[in-house]
Amino acid sequence: MDVLTDNFALYGEGFLGTLELTVYASLLALALGFVMASFRVSPVRALRAFGTVWVTVLRNTPLTLLFFAVVLGLPRFGLVLPFQLFAVLALGCYTSAFICEVLRSGINTVHRGQGEAARSLGMSFGQTLGDVVLPQAFRTVIPPVGSTLIALAKNSAIAGAFSVTELLGTYKVLSERGYNIVWSFVWIAVGYLIITLAISALFHLMERRWGVAR
């Protein structure tokens, strides 16, 4: 317990850093994932192609490499931001590709006849997607979206290597202070467990409220 009690402020700072990264990157991933999923099922070929390229590139790019591309590449184009924002961009964009595919799979579970019926009533593609298809798809994708965001929370550990304050990075300071590295990692793991269990509990409540009965 000494490792935790003697360094509670350090752990707290790292925990809050990871929590902020998780929340902001999740919001970005959900927004971009929704947009890209709409592109993937759009009747416009150019939008479908853009969505396909987005998903293919990001899903097949190692997250560490994406961090390097964002942190080192964007400043070359004049975009200089705090490292935390760079981390949010990298995490959010990377995870959006997986959110996109989860949403698209949910959209594909909705019977095609419902979309055809909506269009026969004069509804536009946007109205059909927003008012008919997505509300039904949402009910089926709650568990996989939750799992994807849990993975995002754990992936945020990479940000510590890029000068971002987060939970895993606390072990460097603790090691320099001479604390037992095993117990340092135990309390780090507890911090991640708290965050992932909170996400899991939230999506469990959502599934009980809106999920499809099995």
pLDDT digits (tens, 9 = 90+) for 76-131: 888 888 888 999 999 999 999 999 999 998 888 777 776 667 777 777 777 777 77
Both ends of the chain: CA-CA distance in Å?
A: 44
On the question of pLDDT at 139 being above 90, the answer is: no
pLDDT-derived band at 153 (thresholds 50, 70, 90) equals: very high
Q: Which residues of 74-86 are buried (b: 16+ CB within 10 A; e: fewer)?
A: beeeeeeeeebeb
Q: How confident is the model at residue 176 (pLDDT cuts 50, 70, 90)?
A: low
pLDDT of residue 100: 94
The H-assigned helical ranges of the chain are: 2-6, 8-40, 45-59, 63-68, 83-109, 112-120, 125-127, 134-155, 170-176, 181-210
pLDDT at 57 over 90: yes
Q: How confident is the model at residue 135 (pLDDT cuts 50, 70, 90)?
A: confident
Mean pLDDT of 7-26: 87
Hey, is 213 helix, strand or coil? coil
Using N-to-C axis directions, what is the helix angle for 181-210 and 134-155, rounded to 10°? 180
Residue 186 has pLDDT above 60, yes or no: yes
Cα 52 to Cα 11, 136, 159, distances in angstroms: 40, 23, 27
What pLDDT is attached to residue 42?
Answer: 86
Question: How high is the pLDDT of residue 185?
Answer: 79
Pairwise CA distance, residues 86 & 110, whole Å:
36
Mean predicted lDDT score pLDDT of the chain: 85
- State the pLDDT at residue 35: 93
pTM, to two decimals: 0.86
